[in-house]
Amino acid sequence: MIIEWQRVRVRPGLRERFIEKDAEIWTTGLARVTGFLGKEVWLGEEDTEVILVVRWESREHWKGIPRKRLDAIEERFRRELPEGHEIVETRAYEVARS
């Protein structure tokens, strides 16, 4: 399993709207992709931080999402929430098998 981890900075007062639109647009869009296992949203201590944790069956599933599909989801997200947020850090982790 692969974990896609993103730290997002949002403008003060925008966090709840960001979470709402992220669930409505990104999570719903990714849920239709083969290999998507789920997503969690972690809230930082400050109201300007959101951590997105997406679980994928494999790196191939995650990286195999067609660019056209990702662009369409991103375009819709940008229309609904055009400013006030930025991804400031992205990481990927492989879950070790014991």
Q: What confidence score (pLDDT) does residue 82 get?
A: 84
pLDDT tens, 61-98? 999 999 999 999 999 999 999 889 999 999 999 999 87
**pTM, rounded to two decimals:** 0.92
Q: For position 51, which CATH number holds? A: 3.30.70.100
Q: What confidence score (pLDDT) does residue 50 get?
A: 97
Torsion of CA 8, 84, 71, 91, to 10 degrees: -10
94, 2 Cβ separation under 8 angstroms: yes
CA distance 81 to 85: 8
Mean pLDDT of the chain: 95
Both tokens of 32, joined, read 């239709």
**Domains identified in the chain, total number:** 1
By residue count, the chain amounts to 98
Say which residues have a Cβ less than 8 Å from residue 67's Cβ, sequence separation at least 6.
none
| Whether the predicted pLDDT of 47 surpasses 80 | yes
Average pLDDT over residues 10-19: 94
State the residue range of the domain holding 18.
2-94
